[in-house]
């Protein structure tokens, strides 16, 4: 299953490179991915009882003329071939391919409270220097971490949360007590 999504993503990536449209396709792929984060939109795409004709008509109204013709052509193809479940993973893989090509990445930061503009700028600068890439920040608020950040970027995990420190302290106390 992942292989077909990867094939679609690679084909779109090559078309974007050949057409000099990587920036345009990247922005639109991010836009499409955002739209399909909505559960109702995903349901329309993969629902087995909605006809291909109805899906094509719906998505034509939503995307035709608004996104690059290659992205729209992929959407039509997966609908026509009853491979709708491969579209969203292909779009996500395409985003990753273009980001790697353009030396971009996104760091997911989880914290109990939002960060100030100065903290965001500082974090972007530090991560960009360490990774030698342009870094965007995606935030998630989670009060359960109590304080401090958890950062996930390019397979690296940095956990400086108070929750982690408390869990580590509890584990060390059990070891020290012989439990």
What is the CATH number for 160? 3.40.30
Q: What is the DSSP string of 82-112?
A: T-GGGHHHHHHHHHHHHHHHTTEEEEEEEES
Q: Indicate the residue among 52, 74, 100 that finishes a domain.
A: 100
Q: How many separate domains does the chain show?
A: 2
Mean pLDDT value across residues 122-151: 93
Are residue 117 and residue 88 in the same domain, yes or no? no
Are residue 89 and residue 41 in the same domain, yes or no? yes
Q: What's the domain range around 65?
A: 2-100
Are residue 148 and residue 72 in the same domain, yes or no? no
Are residue 87 and residue 140 in the same domain, yes or no? no
pTM above the 0.85 mark?
Answer: no
> Does residue 1 have a pLDDT over 80?
no
Are residue 120 and residue 161 in the same domain, yes or no? yes
Closest C-alpha to 72, from 18, 17, 15, 20: 15
What is each CA distance from 10 to 3, 4, 7, 98, 119, in whole angstroms?
10, 10, 5, 10, 36
Are residue 87 and residue 125 in the same domain, yes or no? no
Q: Kindly report, residue by residue over 56-105, the tens digit of the pLDDT.
A: 999 999 888 889 999 999 999 999 999 999 999 999 999 999 999 999 99
State how far the Cα of 72 lies from the Cα of 97, in Å rounded to an integer.
18
């Amino acid at each position: 299953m992942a292989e077909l999504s990867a094939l679609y993503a690679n084909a779109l990536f090559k078309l974007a490179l050949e057409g000099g449209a990587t920036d345009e396709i990247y922005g639109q792929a991010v836009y499409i991915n955002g739209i399909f984060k909505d559960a109702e939109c995903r349901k329309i795409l993969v629902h087995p009882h909605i006809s291909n004709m109805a899906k094509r008509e719906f998505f034509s109204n939503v995307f035709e003329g608004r996104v690059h013709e290659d992205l729209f052509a992929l959407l039509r193809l997966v609908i026509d071939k009853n491979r709708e479940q491969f579209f969203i993973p292909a779009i996500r893989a395409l985003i990753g391919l273009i980001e790697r090509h353009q030396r971009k990445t996104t760091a997911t930061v989880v914290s109990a409270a939002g960060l100030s503009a100065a903290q965001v700028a500082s974090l972007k600068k530090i991560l960009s220097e360490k990774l030698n890439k342009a870094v965007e920040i995606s935030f998630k608020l989670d009060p359960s971490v109590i304080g401090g950040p958890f950062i996930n970027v390019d397979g690296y995990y940095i956990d400086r949360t108070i929750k982690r420190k408390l869990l580590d302290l509890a584990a060390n106390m059990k070891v020290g007590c012989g439990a």
